[in-house]
Amino acid sequence: EAAEYYRGQRVPERMEEALNALFPLRPEDLYGELANYFSKYSKAPVICKLVGRKVLNGVGQPTLEVEIYCKIKNCEKRICSTVMSSHSQIPENALLEAIEADEKERNASVNTAVEWVNLSLNTMLRDLKPTDQCQIDKMLGEYFTNKVEEKMKIQEEQEEAEAVTSRTSSPAPSVKKKEAKPGKKSSVAEKPVPPAEPAEPVLCGSLAIGGTSLAIAKAGATISHVPLYLYIALLKHDQESPEEMTLPLPMVTLLNCEKISPTKLKLVKEVMLMPPVQLSLKQGIERILDIQKEMTRLLEFPGKMSISQLGDSRKAKAQNPEKKGPSQFLKRISHLGCLTTGYDDLEQLLLLMQAACNNIGLKLGTDMYLAINCAAHELMDYDKGKYEILTGTFKSPDEMVAMYVKLIDKFPFIIALIDPLRKEDRQQWINICRALGSKCYLIAEDAATHISKLKIDQNINIPMCSGVILKYINQTKVSDLIELTGILDGQRHITILGSPDGESSDDSLVDLAVGVGARFIKLGGLSRGERVTKYNRLLAIEEELAKNRTLREAKLEFIAFTEESQPEDQLPDVLPPPKKD
């Protein structure tokens, strides 16, 4: 019976093949080599267990961890885990009640996500191969759709019950309330601005979908013995291995300018440094660190100083050795991993940046470039119908466009503006793209919706822009990200992968960015462990690609927008020289 069993599995034949193959080699570890030889005949690993766990992200907020266990050679083995990043839609100046409600909602969402992973998804994905990413993502999408429909059904039933209760308690219809709404015409706006679109609802527990999809991709890469970035690239290119890969250029946050600080400037949320493409990533990071050190030193000086005084700050510090402690400008390291400061006007900030670079022998516009995150959606005063760019200074959407044109003309080393306008001001997006698109990237972050809502009938539901910042959060699946970046590539939009506010220590975002071929990556500053670990991963990938001779040099390609509102590529290999110092 035993002989028949082993012959049926071709064991004697394969044993003889193994012994004949290994004898000439006489390996030092014979049994290890035998194990390697026979492993190719073993069954493919299958998922045997998913474990969901509530953990903390980099800012101490609850989030979801998903672990994948597979059955490999008759043993249950832990393959990998992923920790999801969380993104809050609550602005900096939100009321305490809104913040507390958001925290309560986030906590409930994580608890629900843990329950989904440990119960429903654990059962649903058992015995599937972790390398079947598309099939698993499809199942996850169907599961999520069913949950959305369940919630809608419950809401409809509640609304019907409330309607019945209101009819029995007070039969008189509430006509007065309906008449009161159109009467709100107290706005002093010159032109009515489009109202803000409601925040996209996030289904409680949706983290489970994105977390499980990403964990499956990591497990598939581990089992396939390839790095995650290459595994993602293979998924995007139908299993054809790319001959060369390009690293995304980093947008490194240097300053986080608080919009609720006592200082006046509200227009700027983040100031980011972008190294020139001629530098390696390692050289670019080193240069940014030098600028960061010099900026920290300049910001430690109290009071307002002219540029000439700033340029001679080394002498000033030598003459005042007893003057210590941070000034009103420098406060702390923000959750974005950068310096937190405040300014009274934008020019003051930009001149200080120029002084810092000049002090260490660098020139903005040649040796380093700037990007500014305006976060314009946080500036709109809906009573006035205008953006408050400085405390007490307001501009209409059309005036904002004119202001940005003057800004880029005066400071041509600014090569990217993120969210210069709200997504609702679509005509102004068209105007600013036509005016500045050929010399500056105009990027939508908040002005673009979540990945799951961006794709509508193979089109991108965003205002006209140069590119989009995508964030891997909530119910986003790896297949969604790959599909959407393919559409963006086809429509000549650039892809930027961005790090959410509630970042975790998981560095998978970097592999996703490299794998899908993102043009830029926005990870925050060069402080805080959850952000630095991603830069370290990017450096490791650069080293690996250079070693394999598969690293392609990146290019900066601005886009010129025609009158027909269709972007046409303008392809300079390097940035045009600055118009003036």
Rg, C-alpha atoms of the chain: 28
Dihedral sign for Cα atoms in the order 522, 528, 530, 535: positive
Burial class (CB in 10 A: 0-12, 13-18, 19+), 247: buried
| Cross-sheet strand order for the sheet of 386-390 | 380-381, 386-390, 393-395
CB 377 within 8 A of CB 94: no
Give the contacts of 171 (CB within 8 A, at least 6 positions apart). Answer: none
Q: How far apart are CA 52 and CA 66, in angstroms?
A: 5
How many C-beta atoms surround the C-beta of residue 516 within 10 A? Answer: 25
536 catalytic? Reply is no
What does the block give as tokens for 47? Answer: 């998922």
DSSP state of 477: -
Bridge partners, 64 (sequence order): 54
Out of 57, 373, 431, 474, the active site residue is 474
Q: How far apart are CA 540 and CA 228, in angstroms?
A: 13
Count how many Cα atoms sit within 13 Å of the Cα of residue 381 in the half-sphere of its side chain: 18
Q: How far apart are CA 284 and CA 289, in angstroms?
A: 9
Judged by DSSP in three states, 238 sits in coil
Report residue 398: phi and psi, to 5°: -65, -40
Q: Which amino acid is at 233?
A: A
What does the block give as tokens for 208? Answer: 């489970």
Give the contacts of 452 (CB within 8 A, at least 6 positions apart). Answer: 474, 475, 476, 480
Tokens 């005949």: give the residue.
Answer: 41
Bridge partners, 393 (sequence order): 390
Q: How far apart are CA 470 and CA 489, in angstroms?
A: 13
List active site positions. 474
